[in-house]
């Protein structure tokens, strides 16, 4: 089946299911048609049998009447009537014979014998006393024929019901087997078709998370296997591009840091007036150079930090993490920072555990809390909260600072973007903290966004619940 395409596999599966269910339906229809035809024939035969027996009874009454009249009046007219009624009755007897009602055959033979004896008796002019018992016997045989015919019809009805019940059981078994077969075919085709689709989905998720270390292997239909090969080629190409990007970034950073170090040392020598005494204007130029060199060094180190964070984001270590303990640890790391600003850090966290990467979540919350402390007013509050709902863990960091300007909200998570609103206290930063937060949150399959509010900044991180 490896050479069958996805479309061919679907068509084959549907065809097998249709054949199984259609075959069961056709068999059921044929059985019903046969039973209906058989019941129709049985009904017609029962009607004919009943009508013949009733007609025989009426002819017997005519035979008895004409025989008695002949015995009393001895008229040829009544004898002729007797012979006509007798011949008509024998014709009915012959018709009953052709209807193959086996219980009636001995009685029909007996009726013929009585009729022959009655005819012979009239031909031989035997006494009336001997004729009367023959007429009574003929009437008795009519009654027995009627009872036997009724019993035969009831037996036929019971046989038809028994056959109907047996066919119902067989049809039920066949339909059940057809349904089970169709279900097995559906499960087999689903396993054969859905499994590679799931592999493709997982491979795409890994590529989206920048995890290029695991090869893409997809089985199943030929076209899906070909698609898997294309994805693996894409994985290799993306891995090469990522490696080239990191290599170029390291190379550029190294190439920048080397002359920057020499420039920094030269500026320091000038500031210390090692080459000679500086004039006031010269000292001002040296101060500008020293400030710009320091800023450039911070930018390069931030660029390296962002690159390292992007690399670490691909290495997830999911494990049970106590949420309250996590937030306490983050707050303790920034305790001196918050005390210097006379801030109160409020923690609102349930005593539960969550399946997530505790180290990366610590970095995320530490960056958010550090920004919140820098932008909060003296004596204010910062709130760190955790809640759960709709399959997500939600981490909120809320401060009472100036917030984020409307024009900065769309790009606040971009690298080296610091926003237009200034912090109340002097701070050193390059604007990569929120970029690192976004990289780490995306690696954990979550999202981070800024919730607009009138006062302060409210950052919300949502991480899928892996439990």
Alpha helices for 334-457 (secondary structure H)? 335-340, 358-375, 433-443
Q: Which residue has the higher pLDDT, 269 or 357?
A: 357
Question: Last residue of some domain: 136, 163, 186?
Answer: 186
% of residues, the chain, pLDDT over 70: 85
Same domain, 427 and 294: no
Q: Which residue has the higher pLDDT, 100 or 140?
A: 140
Tell which residue, 149, 137, 14, has the closest CA to residue 67. 137
Residue 431 lies in a domain: yes
Q: How confident is the model at residue 89, as a pLDDT?
A: 85
Same domain, 239 and 122: no
Model confidence, pTM: 0.47
Same domain, 36 and 123: yes
Same domain, 353 and 378: yes
Residue 207 lies in a domain: no
Same domain, 51 and 145: yes
pLDDT tens string 288-333? 777 677 666 666 665 666 565 555 555 667 888 898 899 999 999 8
Give, as one character, the DSSP assignment of residue 398: E
Q: How confident is the model at residue 300, as a pLDDT?
A: 65
Same domain, 398 and 255: no
Mode of pairing for the β-strands spanning 392-398 and 353-356? unpaired
Worst-scoring range by mean pLDDT, 34-38, 119-123, 421-425? 421-425
Contact 394/372 with Cβ under 8 angstroms?
A: no
Same domain, 173 and 57: yes
Same domain, 227 and 144: no
Same domain, 181 and 231: no
Cα–Cα distance, 33 to 30 (Å, whole number): 5
pLDDT class of 70 with cuts at 50, 70, 90? confident
Strand partners, 451: 458
Q: How confident is the model at residue 314, as a pLDDT?
A: 58
pLDDT class of 342 with cuts at 50, 70, 90? confident
Question: Last residue of some domain: 285, 312, 339?
Answer: 312
The number of distinct structural domains making up the chain is 3
Residue 200 lies in a domain: no
Same domain, 325 and 392: yes
Same domain, 136 and 31: yes
**Domain span holding position 36:** 6-186
Q: How confident is the model at residue 193, as a pLDDT?
A: 74
Q: How confident is the model at residue 428, as a pLDDT?
A: 57
Residue 126 lies in a domain: yes
| Burial per residue of 91-126, b for 16 or more beta-carbon CB atoms within 10 angstroms, e otherwise | ebbeebeeeebeebeebbebbbebbebbbebbeeee
Q: What is the mean pLDDT of residues 264-272?
A: 74
Residue 246 lies in a domain: yes
Q: Which of 252-261, 263-272, 347-356 is predicted most confidently?
A: 347-356
Q: Which of 106-120, 138-152, 372-386 is predicted most confidently?
A: 372-386
Q: Which residue has the higher pLDDT, 458 or 49?
A: 458
* Max intra-chain CA distance, the chain: 178
112 pLDDT higher than 80? yes
100 torsion bin: left (phi>0), alpha (psi -120 to 50), beta (else): left
pLDDT tens string 156-199? 888 888 888 888 888 888 888 888 888 888 888 777 777 777 88
Question: Last residue of some domain: 312, 330, 358?
Answer: 312
Strand partners, 384: 347, 397
Q: What angle do CA 353, 354, 359 make, to 5 degrees?
A: 105
Q: Which two tokens stand for residue 214?
A: 């695991």
Cα–Cα distance, 340 to 460 (Å, whole number): 25
CA distances from 138 to 64, 71, 133, 257 (A): 9, 17, 9, 133
Q: How confident is the model at residue 460, as a pLDDT?
A: 93
Residue 204 lies in a domain: no
Cα–Cα distance, 281 to 38 (Å, whole number): 122
CATH at residue 371: 3.30.565.10
Same domain, 291 and 334: no
pLDDT tens string 396-427? 999 988 888 877 777 888 776 666 666 666 55
CATH at residue 79: 1.20.120.1730
80 pLDDT higher than 70? yes
pLDDT class of 1 with cuts at 50, 70, 90? very low
Residue 194 lies in a domain: no
Residue 195 lies in a domain: no
CATH at residue 298: 1.10.287
Worst-scoring range by mean pLDDT, 105-119, 133-147, 241-255, 446-460? 241-255
Q: How confident is the model at residue 398, as a pLDDT?
A: 92
Q: What is the mean pLDDT of residues 56-67?
A: 84
């Amino acid at each position: 089946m490896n050479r069958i395409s996805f479309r061919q596999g679907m068509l084959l599966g549907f065809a097998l299911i249709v054949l199984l269910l259609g075959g069961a339906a056709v068999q059921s229809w044929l059985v019903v048609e046969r039973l209906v035809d058989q019941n129709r024939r049985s009904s017609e035969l029962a009607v004919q049998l009943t009508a013949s027996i009733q007609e025989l009874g009426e002819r017997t009454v005519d035979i008895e009447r004409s025989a008695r009249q002949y015995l009393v009046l001895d008229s040829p007219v009544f004898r002729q009537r007797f012979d006509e009624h007798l011949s008509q009755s024998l014709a009915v007897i012959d018709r009953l014979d052709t209807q193959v009602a086996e219980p009636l055959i001995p009685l029909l033979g007996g009726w013929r014998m009585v009729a022959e004896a009655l005819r012979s008796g009239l031909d031989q002019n035997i006494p009336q006393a001997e004729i009367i018992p023959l007429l009574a016997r003929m009437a008795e045989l009519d009654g027995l024929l009627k009872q036997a015919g009724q019993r035969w019809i009831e037996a036929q009805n019971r046989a038809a019901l028994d056959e109907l019940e047996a066919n119902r059981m067989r049809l039920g078994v066949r339909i059940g087997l057809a349904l089970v077969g169709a279900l097995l075919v559906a499960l087999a085709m689903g396993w054969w078709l859905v499994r590679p689709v799931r592999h493709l989905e997982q491979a795409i998720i890994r590529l989206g998370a920048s995890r290029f270390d695991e090869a893409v292997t997809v089985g199943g239909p030929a076209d899906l296997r070909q698609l898997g090969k294309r994805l693996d080629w894409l994985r290799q190409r993306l891995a090469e591009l990522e490696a080239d990007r990191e290599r170029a970034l390291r190379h550029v950073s190294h190439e920048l840091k080397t002359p920057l170090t020499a420039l920094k040392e030269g500026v320091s020598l000038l500031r210390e007036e090692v080459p000679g005494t500086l004039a006031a204007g010269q000292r001002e130029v040296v101060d500008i150079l020293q400030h710009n060199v320091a800023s450039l060094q911070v930018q390069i180190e931030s660029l390296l930090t962002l690159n390292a964070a992007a690399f670490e984001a691909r290495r997830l270590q999911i494990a049970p993490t106590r949420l309250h303990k996590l937030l306490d640890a983050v707050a303790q790391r920034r305790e001196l920072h918050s005390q210097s600003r006379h801030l109160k850090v409020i923690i609102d966290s349930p005593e539960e555990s969550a399946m997530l990467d505790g180290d990366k979540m610590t970095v995320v919350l530490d960056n958010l809390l550090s920004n919140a402390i820098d932008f909060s007013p003296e004596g204010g509050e910062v709130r760190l909260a955790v809640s759960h709902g709709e399959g997500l863990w939600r981490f909120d960091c809320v401060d009472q600072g100036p917030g984020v300007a409307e024009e900065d909200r769309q790009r606040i998570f971009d690298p080296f973007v610091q926003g237009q609103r200034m912090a109340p206290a002097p701070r050193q930063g390059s604007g990569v903290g929120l970029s690192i937060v976004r990289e780490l949150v995306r690696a954990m399959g979550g999202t981070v966004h800024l919730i607009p509010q009138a006062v302060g900044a409210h950052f919300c991180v949502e991480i899928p619940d892996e439990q």
